[in-house]
Chain A
Amino acid sequence: MSTPYRPLSVLAAALVAASALSGCALWGMEGGPDAAGASMPPVAVTAPPAAVAVQGPDGVQRIEITVDDDLKLTPQVVTARPGRIELTFRNVGLTPHDIALRIPAATGTGNINGSATDIVTVEVTEPGTYPMPCLYHGTSGMRGTLEIR
């Protein structure tokens, strides 16, 4: 009431506040100058522990691996002994994935939609390190590893 400048001041203040508040999310994943406020990947735990596939009474080694919208496999490294291995891939996100296994014959899950699960059974005789990349997201670094010891 006191001054006609007020609307302008309020508007300006609102704009300033809006930019300040939205700051980090405002310009998306890559953030502001020098990536200030960018979306950073989760802090890398020093060398994610390898999970060991558990051998059942039938001699088959089993493990469940989750795949998610962060384009991660958890666990990222699975270790097992030579033999029959049953890998259960559970997609806990919404984005489809397709995990390939090269042992060295190519096999894999095929498409796994969001919230879907796929089981792959492989027979590995040779010790070695076998990659498990996602065929859709390999370029974005989505790959796990199967280590046969």
Chain B
Amino acid sequence: MGRIVDISVKATRRALHWLLAVVAGVAAAVAPSGAAWAHEVGGVGATNFTTTLSALTPAVPGVRLAVVENGSRLELRNTTAQEVVVRGYSDEPYARIGPDGVWLNDSSPATYLNADRFASTTVPADADPAAPPRWRKVSGDNVHRWHDHRIHWMLSTLPTAVAAAPTAAHRVSDWHVDLDYGGAVLSATGSLDWVPGPSPTPWYLLAAVAALLVVGAVFTRRAHTLVAAALVALIAADVLHAAGIALVTAGNVPERLTAFLGDGLTGLLIWPFGLVAAVLIAKRATFLGFVAMGVGGLLSSMMALDDAPVWWRSSAPSALPADLNRAGVALVVGLGAGLLVGGPLLWRRFKPQAREAAVAEPSLADDMRTAHPPGGEPTAGGTPATDPQAGNAPRVDPTSSPENGSPTEQPTSPDAAPVVLGARAARAAADVSADSGEAGQGGAVGRRGFAGTLAAGGIGAILGAAGGIAAGTPGEPGTPAGAPPAEPLTGVGATRIAFHGERQAGITTPARPQARLRIIAFDLAEGVDRVGLQSLLRRWTQAAAQLSQGLPLGDSGDDVVTGAGPSSLTVTAGFGPSLFGKAGLPATARPAELTPLPAFPGERLDPAHSDGDLCLLVHADDALVVFRAARALTRLAAPQARMRWQLDGFNNSPGVTPTAATGRNLMGQLDGTNNPQPTDEDFSTKVYVTDPAAPAWLRGGSVLVVRRIRMLLDDWDAQPRQAQERVIGRRKDTGAPLSGGQERTPANFGTKGADGALTIPADAHIRLATPAFNNGAAMLRRGYSYTDGDAAGLIFLAWQADPRRGFVPVQQRLVASDALNRFTRHETSALFAMPHGVAPGGHLGQDLFGEDPA
């Protein structure tokens, strides 16, 4: 009879098991898809794509740009009194962030495209970037975050290069985003890289060990306590993981709390539920092993499905350190999987039926076991664990059995078969109260106290994390180190020349040539290819942009200029004729403007200090600033190029002479009086290449002739002043032509003196050099003086659109008969073509490589 009753009870329970298993399974299967929870921010989960913001130049205090949400969005925070305008994809104004909040331009396609991570949207027909902005206020904050598609990968397949070698690092692209700020353009530049992640093996092992420990814990004496502790640890790890994600979620407190708790507040339901279950399990509510199974299975499977990639990808949307985040995921997966198995095992081991059977009829269990080996409570299924009928079997855990089988425990009537889950749970709870009363005397207080502490700790962790999320400010870039100098720099030191622009700085900007110059010529190393050359130009561009804005490079040379301002630093780069034919650039690609200079009679050139494949001109109003920049750029040239020669030049320091004054050379003359003036109508076409037949990289650039002209000053200074003035054709003091007038008065080459001789002699320098007698040949001379031991002279720098209509004809005329030749000697010579200027995000000479600047 006992048998019949027992069988019917068993059948009922079996049905209940099925029901529970199905419910747990459905929950585990459905929940992850229903609640896209806690694994992605801004539509991006763990990824090997890394978006880096290299620089925002020039830097403006109070305007902070940051890559947030793992590259999904850019964040601009503007705490200044002036608004910042973010440019869209056609350079139109897209967003404006300022004191009166955030406004979006409804005429900009970016307004619609940037709302979605993959720009899957339709842009209204009236969104025309060329149309006048239609501003719409979207928030009163001074911060805006948007999906800028220039900074991240938009395709649903890997880049081709990455697909070919996914375990290697790749530079996917460089990007730039422009901001307008009070008439200045702030340029953000950065890169998108593929950075392979680490091996996931350690985390597989951690998850496996965690799972095995939980399953193993079921068979120890402290099974309830340990299972409860595992459940609390699982929830704590999950809370930690969710907090890490919530902390990088941009937005206000409710948005971050939603990120923390999950869509539909999954966390709010599961975590307290699990913690209550953990407390009750610790109090020996064996039945709640099924709750542990459900919670464990749910969290584990969700985590494995959604977050396992953090193990093998290099970055994840989490505020936690990457390995802590990975460990958290491994613990959730491992502990959850352990509980999925361990929860039911706990029930099987300690279920009241076993106790009751053991209590009521100790011999019956053995009897039944013998009678119904396969159908009863078999060991089939391969689990060595627990024949539950053997719950009191000494071989499993001798110490626990007597305790569980204690006759004083609440007896469960087998006749009172449970009908609904609620009733069963209620009785389980009743079990607990009785059990706790009993265990209080049994010395189990310590264990329960431990579990309770863990549970309380878990709740505390949740509250603490929530508080931290509410208080924290995610994605904020750190305040740059280095306090501003106590005394703000003014004047010379603080002056900054824009690096980016249509034309390179250092040719006609600044209007007054800086006081100091270093010119460096480089030779390409053997075997450098296009990629190498391009990489060198990219490095130079980046460094020059930073140096010219007074930003540190992060190398040891920074300290040379610590405390110093940019001092009008400009860096100008150029290509020599010999570059063509190297680095994969065909010799035929050499533009006609860069035809090597012919040999001139009388010159005594030192080939080792002439020519060069590449050149850099570093100008500034301070010698230390020039030295620091030039040295840094020279070091950056390695290994693709090495210095061939260099020259240092000087002029008057600013403030020493009136700003507009023509500079003097070491012979005492004003040098450059007859230069083309910026106000001339054809100034640009004389100085800059505008010929449409010129290659694209050169249009907007200029060609530079460099000559180091030694002055034979001993001979010169032996001449009386009038003789010197006749050599030049101008007065030394005022610079006025000998024909009369002021410095700028046009020379009258026909004027004759009382003696009938030409006032400006036939061999006077200005007569031979004047454009009027050279078919209009003109060049912009911005020379510098140099000294070298006891030698001294002029670093002659002449800028022109084409030397064949500039320096060459003039020099050919001069060498034939210039009176000045007796006092000068051309010792070195070089010719360089300076490419046009650099747009933010591009690099010098970029279109030399036929590359799209986009």
Seen from chain A, the residues whose Cβ lies within 8 Å of a Cβ on chain B are: 1-12, 14-15, 18-19, 26-30, 32-35, 38-42, 44, 69-71, 94-96, 98, 100, 102, 104, 108, 110-111, 113-114, 126, 128-129, 131, 133, 135-143
Contact = CB atoms under 8 A, between A and B. Distances in A.
Interface string B38-72: 00000001011000000000000000000000000
A30 B817 CA distance: 74
B154 A29 contact: no
Contacts of A111: 109, 123, 127
A30 B344 CA distance: 36
What is the size category of the interface that chain B forms with chain A?
35 or more
A28 B45 contact: yes
The 3 A-B residue pairs with the shortest CB-CB distance, nearest first, are A131-B852, A7-B21, A35-B166
Q: At the interface, is chain B mostly helix, strand, loop or mixed?
A: loop
A45 B595 CA distance: 41
B29 interface: yes
A32 to B, nearest CB: 7
A100 B853 CA distance: 11
A135 B89 contact: yes
Given A11-B25, A133-B854, A138 B163 contact: no
Interface string B115-151: 0001111110001110000000000000000000111
25 contacts: A3-B380, A4-B17, A7-B21, A11-B21, A27-B308, A35-B166, A40-B163, A41-B163, A69-B156, A95-B118, A96-B109, A96-B119, A110-B90, A111-B109, A111-B123, A111-B127, A131-B851, A136-B113, A137-B155, A139-B152, A139-B154, A140-B154, A140-B173, A141-B159, A142-B154
Given A19-B304, A129-B850, A141 B149 contact: no
B121 A143 contact: no
Interface string B818-854: 0000000000000000000000000000000011111
Contacts of B305: 19, 26
Q: At the interface, is chain A mostly helix, strand, loop or mixed?
A: loop
B378 interface: yes
Q: Point out which of A42, A98, A108 has the most chain B C-beta atoms below 10 A from its C-beta.
A: A98
Given A28-B45, A100-B90, A114-B122, 12 more contacts: A2-B375, A11-B25, A14-B29, A26-B305, A30-B47, A35-B162, A38-B166, A39-B157, A95-B119, A95-B120, A96-B123, A110-B129
A96 B312 contact: no
Nearest to B129: A110
Contacts of B380: 2-3, 5
Given A10-B21, A11-B21, A140-B155, A33 B312 contact: yes
Contacts of A137: 149, 154-155
A3 B158 contact: no
Nearest to B309: A27
B692 interface: yes
A39 to B, nearest CB: 4
B696 interface: yes
Given A98-B90, A111-B127, A139-B173, A71 B154 contact: yes
A95 B851 CA distance: 25
B200 A33 contact: yes
B85 interface: no
